[in-house]
Each structure stands twice: as structure tokens, then as C-alpha cells.
């Protein structure tokens, strides 16, 4: 009797283990498919002007939109990670760009598709999607003009924890392609004659990376809705973007870093435009 009960128990435990193994296998198979499949996305027919007339201004703009935060100040590469969840290598741009045509780069930045047809991962294409042709041309021209840089960062690695893989399967951790809404307006091609319109464009190609496409905040990135800007006046807002210090002065981690390294390069008029946009967008009086 006792013997038989043990036998049943053993079978239950064994079936359970087999199920778990099958589940894990399925998650690995599914993520391999998501990341490995190729997408047939036509090359965009845009004629970019990549002539750099003002290198200082082109560098300032390229820093503001973040290419040189992830790919390193020299373009030599860097690491994008969430400790314990994923680690992704952002490759050496001075080596990768010569292998890409301008049209392939536009496709990568606006659609999230790499040259090999696979989706990029960890490249915020949804943030670059709204960029105007002029600004894309300026950034690509500037990056192509960088001298060959020594390799930095981990190289082309994609380490994903099981948690990150589950996120990919359920769509909470989105690939660069999946994060794009192709029906969203491309603000860079819309009029930019008022502070609201100019601020909307600038915020969409900078703040959206962490605060989300409609600036509602992102729980996984730990970022609040930018409605919080209603509690700021313009000098306080400018101080936050230049120094990373919010009202009250506490350290904001990634936000403070982005401010000190990148946003410190915003001009006064640009900060005023972003402020005007956010206040109106979130219904401040
Ligand atoms: C938030 C970090 C981040 C920012 C900002 C960023 N990148 Fe990347 N980039 C990455 C990562 C991570 C990869 C590796 C993607 C992968 O493994 O699919 C990558 C890959 C690339 C690649 C190579 C794709 C391939 O075929 O392997 C190019 C080219 C590139 N980025 C250009 C740019 C340009 C231009 C900008 C600015 C407009 C930019 N990146 C901004 C993180 C970033
Ligand atoms: C690299 C990611 C990142 C980018 C890019 C970014 N933010 Fe943030 N931001 C955060 C995070 C994370 C927090 C929350 C930090 C905390 O509360 O510890 C935050 C917080 C804030 C806050 C709230 C400060 C407070 O009083 O608590 C404001 C305002 C803000 N960001 C504005 C902006 C604006 C404007 C932009 C674009 C110009 C921007 N952020 C771009 C990550 C980012």
C-alpha cells in the first residue's frame, strides 16, 4: 500500500518536472523565434542630406537624442543593462555604420529592423520614429564623420534572464520593432511654429525613451508621468534638465544622469518649448 502511494507520488512529481521543463523550453523557443525571425520591411525611399555644415551643432543634437549615451561618447560602443534582467551590447558605431546604407539606417531608426532583417533589441527606435528627415540626415552625417573609435562595451552580446524572456513572450519587454506604433504621427514632419509644437517634437525624440510615447510614465523604467511637470515653474524645470536636481533636490538616478550628460546641452529656448508643451499637454492652467 505504502509502496504504491510512493509510486504515484513519484509519477506526479515526475510529470510536474517534465511540464516545467517543457514550459521553460517553450519560453526559450518562443524568444529565439521572436529575436531570430526576419521581417520583410521595405527600405524607405528618403533622400537624406547628410552633409555636416556645423559639426558642433550636429554633435549637440546627437548627444541630446542619446546615440552617444548608449554607444559611448566616442561611438566605440557601450552596455545597456538592467542588472539581473538583461545585458545588451550597443556596438561600435564607427565599425557598424560603414556596413549600413543611409536607407538601411533610416529603416533601423524608424522601424527597428536591423540590416539583417531581424528586430533590434534595446535600440529605442520608437523614440527616433518621429524624427524629421533633416534631423536624421544631420545625425547620420555626424556619426559617419566620427574617426574610428576603440571598442568599448561588451560587444554584440544579448544576455537575457529567464524573467526578460518571459517579458518578451508576454509583450511586456518589447523589441525595438514591437515598441513602435506605425500609425503614430511623425511630429518632425508636422509644423513646428509654436512653442507647443516645437516642444512636442523635442520631448518625443528625447523624453519618450523613458517616460513613454505619450509621456504617461513607465513602471518598468521607474519613471513617472510627465504630468508631474505641472508642479514646476520654468526656472525649476530648467534646473532639473541641466543638473538632474528636481524640486527638493533628491537624486533621480537615470534621470539625473541623462540630465547631466545629455540634457545639459538643451538651449534655453528648447527647454522653454518642452516646458510649454508639457504644461499644455497635461492641462496646467
Ligand atoms: C538606449 C540605448 C541606445 C540608444 C539611445 C541608441 N542605441 Fe543603437 N543600439 C543599442 C543597442 C542595445 C544595440 C544592439 C541591438 C541588438 O542587439 O539588436 C544597438 C544597435 C545599433 C546599431 C547596429 C544594429 C545592428 O545591425 O547590429 C546601429 C547602427 C545603431 N544602434 C545606431 C544608433 C543610432 C544612430 C542612434 C541614435 C539615433 C542609436 N543607435 C541610439 C542601444 C542604443
Ligand atoms: C534615461 C531615462 C530618462 C530620460 C531619457 C528622461 N527621464 Fe525623466 N525620469 C526618469 C526616471 C527614471 C525618473 C524617476 C526618478 C525617480 O523618481 O527616482 C524621471 C523623473 C522625471 C521627472 C520628475 C522629477 C520629480 O520631481 O520627481 C521629471 C519632471 C522628468 N523626469 C522630466 C523629463 C524630461 C522633460 C525628459 C526629456 C527632456 C526626461 N525626463 C527624460 C528617466 C528618464
Tell me the whole-structure pTM to 2 decimals: 0.95
Q: Among 51, 47, 68, which Cα is nearest to 59's?
A: 68
Q: What is the pLDDT of residue 4?
A: 79
User: In this structure, is residue 3 part of a structural domain?
Assistant: no
What's the chain's average pLDDT?
95
Instruction: Name the residue of 127, 221, 223 to mutate for ligand 2: max ligand atoms within 8 A of Cβ.
Output: 223
Across the chain, the runs of DSSP E, i.e. the strands, are 78-82, 86-90, 158-160
Residue 115 pLDDT > 80, yes or no? yes
Instruction: Name the residue of 126, 252, 262 to mutate for ligand 2: max ligand atoms within 8 A of Cβ.
Output: 252
Q: What is the pLDDT of residue 285?
A: 67
Per-residue CA distances from 240 to 208, 258, 274 (Å)? 17, 11, 13
Among 184, 209, 224, the domain-final residue is 184
Please count the structural domains in the chain.
2
Q: Distance between CA 166 and CA 254 in Å, rounded?
A: 25
Question: Is the C-beta atom of 137 inside 6 A of ligand 2?
Answer: no
Q: Distance between CA 242 and CA 215 in Å, rounded?
A: 20
Residue 260 pLDDT > 90, yes or no? yes
Residue pLDDT, tens place only, 131-149: 999 999 999 999 999 999 9
Q: Where are the alpha helices (DSSP H) in 112-186?
A: 125-128, 133-144, 162-170
Question: Is the C-beta atom of 153 inside 6 A of ligand 1?
Answer: no
The CATH number of the domain holding residue 275 is 1.10.760.10
User: 115 and 240, same structural domain?
Assistant: no
Residue pLDDT, tens place only, 58-79: 999 999 999 999 999 999 999 9
User: 202 and 164, same structural domain?
Assistant: no
Q: What is the pLDDT of residue 209?
A: 96
Question: Is the C-beta atom of 123 inside 6 A of ligand 1?
Answer: yes
Per-residue CA distances from 17 to 12, 95, 136, 164, 169 (Å)? 9, 46, 52, 22, 21
User: 95 and 215, same structural domain?
Assistant: no
Rounded average pLDDT over 112-130 = 97
User: 227 and 271, same structural domain?
Assistant: yes
Among 184, 214, 230, the domain-final residue is 184
Amino acid at each position: 500500500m505504502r509502496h504504491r502511494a510512493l509510486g504515484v507520488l513519484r509519477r506526479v512529481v515526475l510529470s510536474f518536472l517534465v511540464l516545467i521543463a517543457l514550459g521553460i523550453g517553450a519560453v526559450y523557443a518562443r524568444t529565439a523565434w521572436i529575436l531570430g525571425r526576419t521581417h520583410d520591411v521595405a527600405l524607405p525611399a528618403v533622400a537624406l542630406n547628410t552633409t555636416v555644415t556645423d559639426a558642433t551643432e550636429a554633435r549637440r543634437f546627437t548627444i541630446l537624442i542619446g546615440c552617444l549615451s548608449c554607444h559611448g561618447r566616442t561611438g566605440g560602443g557601450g552596455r545597456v543593462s538592467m542588472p539581473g534582467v538583461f545585458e545588451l551590447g550597443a556596438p561600435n558605431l564607427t565599425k557598424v555604420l560603414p556596413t549600413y546604407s543611409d536607407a538601411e539606417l533610416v529603416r533601423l531608426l524608424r522601424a527597428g529592423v536591423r540590416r539583417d532583417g531581424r528586430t533590434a533589441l534595446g535600440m529605442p527606435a520608437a523614440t527616433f520614429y518621429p524624427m524629421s528627415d533633416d534631423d536624421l540626415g544631420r545625425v547620420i552625417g555626424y556619426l559617419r564623420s566620427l574617426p574610428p573609435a576603440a571598442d568599448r562595451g561588451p560587444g554584440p552580446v544579448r544576455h537575457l534572464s529567464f524573467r526578460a524572456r518571459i517579458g518578451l513572450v508576454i509583450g511586456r519587454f518589447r523589441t525595438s520593432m514591437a515598441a513602435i506604433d506605425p500609425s503614430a504621427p511623425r511630429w518632425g514632419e508636422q509644423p513646428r511654429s509654436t512653442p507647443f509644437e516645437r516642444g512636442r517634437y523635442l520631448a518625443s525624440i528625447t523624453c519618450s525613451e523613458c517616460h513613454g510615447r505619450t509621456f504617461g510614465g513607465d513602471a518598468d523604467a521607474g519613471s513617472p508621468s510627465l504630468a508631474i511637470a505641472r508642479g514646476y515653474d520654468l526656472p525649476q524645470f530648467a534646473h532639473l534638465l541641466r543638473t538632474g536636481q528636481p524640486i527638493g533636490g533628491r537624486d533621480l538616478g537615470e534621470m539625473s544622469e541623462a540630465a547631466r550628460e545629455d540634457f545639459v546641452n538643451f538651449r534655453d529656448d528648447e527647454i522653454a518649448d518642452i516646458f510649454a508643451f508639457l504644461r499644455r499637454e497635461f492641462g496646467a492652467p
